[in-house]
């Protein structure tokens, strides 16, 4: 509201409060002294408002004057702040900025992620947000990014960090701007070729990301957010599918599962996503996209139920598991992960088992994990991602 009032006041070219006051006195037959007595305002206080010499606005006295002038209070503020002292306008602007940042940003979580520092000044915070999102004003975070991204659904998240995550992901894809054409048939042809790359721990993910980029599907790998269950997300930007994969659970098998899960959404849910712009996997879905089907697709693709039933009898035989994994062209940890999930459905807890068979994802995602929260600018990082994906 204050921002709107200030913007209108800068453009206001009508009569001043002093002009309106004199006109009202003439019309009412009152003298200035009579008004002062009736309103309980001293001459010095009244003149300070009328000739704009007061350092700070006395809102109560301004309200009394507004009532006498029969103006809407917002209209009076527009007239009043025209040509007010610069110091007061700056103070008001700072107050607006603080209110806006507190409303739209979870400062505590952003500090823990290294996005900002605990003792950052207001100016540093504003500069950080603008540079990160490649925007000129912090208010574009709400106005322009919402118009671009939430326009179809008329909604944004009340969860500040989820909103931050979605908008930063959108900005990455917008700036990467994949030039390759997307055709569904190309994805259908590529999917059968993906699975063997799970065996290549060092470069398998990157190779698949590059292949998908070449057929118009952009993949960005991002760290997961605290207090969310987001494993991945599918966006539709400029009619091209874009996927975010997170390191949720810090698990190699989960990353591959999330990728295939999101590719299912690209294949079968794109029309629904077209209406909403995005879909988050692992979070409640208001648009009834069926996560169970995507989960089943990913699970069966990586290792069919039939094959799982065969190998689970030998799950504690490392040699047999590795041999069978090689035959199925998958990394052995996928077998162990599937076993953990199947056992959890039976009420058995195997989540702590087989840890030695899961690769450490830190080394695996080192090349991919360039979109951390402590980076300076999404624009700079988007260019690095584009360079990484282009072969």
Q: Are strands 278-281 and 232-237 parallel, antiparallel or unpaired?
A: antiparallel
The Cα–Cα gap between 75 and 73 comes to 5
pLDDT value at residue 1: 55
pLDDT value at residue 40: 87
Looking at residues 262-275, what average pLDDT do you find?
91
Report field, pTM of the whole predicted structure over 0.85 = no
Whether the pLDDT of residue 264 is over 90: the answer is: yes
Lowest model confidence (mean pLDDT) among 11-20, 31-40, 279-288, 291-300: 279-288
Angle of CA points 79, 97, 51, to nearest 5°: 25
Looking at residues 251-277, what average pLDDT do you find?
91
The Cα–Cα gap between 247 and 60 comes to 55
Whether the pLDDT of residue 15 is over 80: the answer is: yes
Residue 360's H or E segment, with its range, is none
Confirm if 133 and 168 have CB atoms less than 8 A apart: yes
Supply the mean pLDDT for the chain: 86
* Residues 19-43 pLDDT 10s: 898 998 999 888 989 988 888 888 8
pLDDT value at residue 6: 67
pLDDT value at residue 144: 65
* Residues 188-221 pLDDT 10s: 999 999 999 999 998 999 999 999 999 999 999 8
Looking at residues 72-84, what average pLDDT do you find?
77
The DSSP code for 121 is -
Ranked by mean pLDDT, the top range of 74-78, 102-106, 308-312 is 308-312
The Cα–Cα gap between 192 and 325 comes to 16
The Cα–Cα gap between 6 and 96 comes to 11
pLDDT value at residue 13: 82
């Amino acid at each position: 509201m204050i921002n709107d009032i200030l913007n209108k006041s800068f453009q206001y070219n009508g009569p001043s409060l002093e002009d309106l006051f004199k006109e009202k006195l003439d019309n009412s037959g009152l003298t200035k002294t009579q008004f002062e007595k009736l309103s309980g305002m001293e001459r010095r206080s009244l003149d300070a408002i009328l000739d704009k010499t007061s350092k700070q606005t006395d809102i109560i006295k301004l309200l009394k004057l507004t009532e006498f002038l029969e103006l809407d209070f917002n209209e009076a503020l527009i007239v009043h702040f025209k040509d007010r002292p610069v110091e007061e306008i700056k103070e008001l602007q700072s107050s607006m900025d603080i209110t806006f940042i507190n409303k739209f940003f979870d400062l505590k979580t952003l500090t823990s992620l290294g996005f900002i520092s605990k003792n950052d000044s207001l100016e540093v915070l504003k500069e950080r947000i603008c540079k990160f999102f490649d925007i000129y004003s912090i208010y574009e975070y709400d106005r322009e990014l919402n118009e671009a991204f939430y326009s179809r659904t008329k909604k944004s998240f009340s969860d500040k960090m989820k909103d931050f995550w979605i908008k930063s992901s959108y900005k990455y894809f917008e700036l990467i701007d994949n030039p390759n054409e997307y055709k569904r048939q190309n994805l259908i042809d590529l999917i059968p070729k993906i699975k063997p790359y799970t065996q290549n721990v060092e470069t398998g993910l990157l190779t698949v990301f590059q292949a998908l980029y070449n057929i118009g599907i952009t993949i960005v790998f991002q760290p997961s957010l605290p207090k969310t269950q987001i494993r991945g997300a599918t966006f539709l930007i400029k009619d091209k599918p874009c996927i975010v994969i997170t390191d949720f659970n810090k698990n190699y098998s989960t990353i591959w599962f999330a990728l295939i899960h999101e590719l299912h959404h690209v294949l079968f849910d794109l029309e629904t996503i077209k209406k909403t712009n995005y879909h988050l996997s692992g979070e409640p879905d208001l648009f009834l996209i069926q996560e169970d089907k995507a989960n089943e697709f990913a699970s069966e693709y990586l290792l069919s139920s039939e094959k799982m039933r065969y190998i689970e009898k030998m799950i504690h035989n490392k040699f047999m598991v590795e041999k069978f994994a090689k035959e199925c062209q998958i990394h052995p940890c996928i077998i162990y992960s599937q076993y953990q999930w199947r056992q959890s459905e039976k009420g058995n807890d195997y989540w702590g088992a087989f840890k030695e068979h899961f690769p450490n994802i830190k080394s695996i995602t080192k090349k991919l994990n360039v979109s951390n929260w402590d980076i300076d600018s999404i624009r700079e990082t988007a260019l690095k991602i584009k360079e990484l994906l282009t072969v």
